[in-house]
Amino acid sequence: MATISAVLRFRKALTLIQRRYPFTLAFGPADTREACIASAQKVYDRLNMRTRDDLVQFETLALIALMGNGKTINQEKAKELVKVFRPDRQGNLTMLDFLKSVDAVYKEFRLLLASIDNSSQIDRAFENIINIIFYIVVGAVTLSQLGV
């Protein structure tokens, strides 16, 4: 059973992924797939600024998983980052792999939104059917009480 706080968190997450900047303002716009890819390329370029080779070290991305003290890494976040970005055995990430990973997350966002929209349409159709059946039953009971 869903709690009120779970429903509120879900609604907040839903509003976040429907925005023009679902990843963050620093990432850039991602309201369309093309805009998302362009923003991901800019982020990759910023991550690659210091090395200027064609690879970004996964350790650079792993900094996201630092705990509040800035010294220890949250292992769960690090594992999730590895699942999302899939660096090679040397810990390198090419631009193509980075873009594929971001695109996969973007597709999941859009699939979730489409699924929610489909479920909403099915719920509305089901509600309309139930309403029609209810009004027919109420009408029949009313007519039977009136002696028709």
119 domain residue, yes or no: no
Rounded distance, CA 83 to CA 101, Å? 9
Tens of pLDDT, residue by residue over 31-56, are 899 999 999 999 998 888 766 677 88
DSSP 51-84: T-SSEEEHHHHHGGGB-TTSSSB-HHHHHHHHHH
**pLDDT for the residue 50:** 66
Residue type, 83: K
DSSP H/E element including 92: strand 92-94
> Which residue range(s) make up the domain with 28?
7-106+124-145
- What residues does 66 pair with on adjacent strands? 73
Decide which of 65 and 29 is more confident.
29
113 domain residue, yes or no: no
| Average pLDDT across the chain, whole number | 88
Rounded distance, CA 98 to CA 85, Å? 6
Q: What's the CATH code of the domain at 14? A: 1.10.238
**pLDDT for the residue 51:** 66
Please, what is the Cα angle at 6 between 123 and 68, to 5 degrees?
145
Tens of pLDDT, residue by residue over 93-127, are 888 999 999 999 999 989 998 998 999 999 999 99
Rounded distance, CA 98 to CA 119, Å? 32
pTM assigned to the model:
0.74
111 domain residue, yes or no: no
Strands 55-57 and 92-94: antiparallel
Q: For residue 41, what are the contacts with CB-CB under 8 A and spacing of at least 6?
A: 95, 99
**pLDDT for the residue 69:** 76
**pLDDT for the residue 115:** 92
Residue type, 16: L
Question: What percent of the chain shows pLDDT beyond 90?
Answer: 38
**Number of domains composing the chain:** 1
The residue-averaged pLDDT of 66-87 equals 84
Residue 8 has pLDDT above 80, yes or no: yes
**pLDDT for the residue 78:** 85
86 domain residue, yes or no: yes
